[in-house]
Amino acid sequence: MKPAVLVTKRIYPSAIDYLSGRTDLDYHESDHSMPAGELLERLRGKQGAVGQLTDKFDAEVISALPDLKVISNVAVGFDNIDVAAATERGIAVTNTPEVLTDTTADFAFTLLMAAARRLVEADNFLRAGKWSQWRINLLCGADIHHATLGIVGMGRIGQSLARRGLGFEMRVLYSDVQRAAPDIERELRLQYVPFETVLKESDFISLHVPLLPATRGLIGAAQLAMMKNSAILINTSRGPVVDEPALAEALAAGEIAGAGLDVFEREPEVEPRLLEMQNVVLAPHIASASVATRTKMCLMAAENCVAALAGERPPNLVNTSLFDN
């Protein structure tokens, strides 16, 4: 008998094809998340779940699903899953790292460039019919080349962003709880400095940390006050890493010059004041949204799920202690 698997939301067809031949598949083919009660009911009796970051697998949900063997997240992050509760019940938790690294770094640098050069503001200006003639000071922004790029979190995506900074001959500072290997620092010409130094000296600050208790609210009023008045903040990590009301206050007061945000504290809600500001570039959590990358993410999640259900160590296991013995 094939193991029963629920796919909680629409994913790319190649992953469905992969699962269909190997599992008894229940596919919620919709772009809308199921309400919590419906999700729980659909998961009863299932051995596997292929979910997304909008699906909450907290301790209460996990405890109500005694048959569940694997939660396969179509994301690199897994803050929507209580990993400790899953581990306690022997449930494998998997994610989709590496495959989205370059795509996400591309988008972080896109936000940086768009905010620095006031691209969205310029597009709106032109479309509104306000452009009457060339002017010496029309929509002047900030240079990117030779500026200082500060990266908070030097994991895969942080390193990939640093490589892009090198192409613009940027000085790259970084902070992290763990220092990068010496060969990485040499290759990317990185300067490892305290977090406060990144805040104080960077022209652009890009966040690449997981959402953990220690990183929730990492950027608040005190940190924003340390930044240059000309600084631009970029966030493609997780929304709650930044205190949005504090960011809006800092932007309104001119404490920093701008921001580029792909993630938000209470998605899909956005701090209303940010929506009214011209110096903020906003995107609906699409940093990894290329067709090729999202297809690979879905297929990777499907492969993780099938491997776990076969009793094998999944290629991208989060709670590695399950297979350490």
In this predicted structure, the answer to whether residue 324 has a pLDDT above a threshold of 90 is: no
User: Which segments of 51-194 does DSSP mark as H helices, in order?
Assistant: 59-63, 83-88, 101-116, 119-127, 156-167, 182-188
State the pLDDT at residue 19. 98
In this predicted structure, the answer to whether residue 312 has a pLDDT above a threshold of 80 is: yes
Q: Quote the pTM value.
A: 0.92
State the pLDDT at residue 325. 61
Catalytic residue among 201, 238, 255, 303: 238
Which residue type sits at 48?
A: G
**Mean pLDDT in residue range 146-158:** 98
List pLDDT tens digits, range 10-56: 999 999 999 998 999 999 999 999 999 999 999 999 999 999 999 99
Tell me the pLDDT of the chain averaged across its residues.
Answer: 97
**Mean pLDDT in residue range 133-154:** 98
DSSP letter string over 253-312? HTSS-EEEES--TBTTB--HHHHT-TTEEE-SS-TT--HHHHHHHHHHHHHHHHHHHTTS
Tell me whether residue 28 is one of the annotated catalytic residues: no
**Mean pLDDT in residue range 305-319:** 97
Tell me whether residue 267 is one of the annotated catalytic residues: yes
Instruction: Give the whole-angstrom CA distance, residue 265 versus residue 238.
Output: 8
Helix (H) or strand (E) holding 4: strand 4-7
Catalytic residue among 185, 187, 249, 267: 267
**Mean pLDDT in residue range 272-294:** 97
Tell me whether residue 42 is one of the annotated catalytic residues: no
CA 21, 22, 23, 26 dihedral sign is: negative
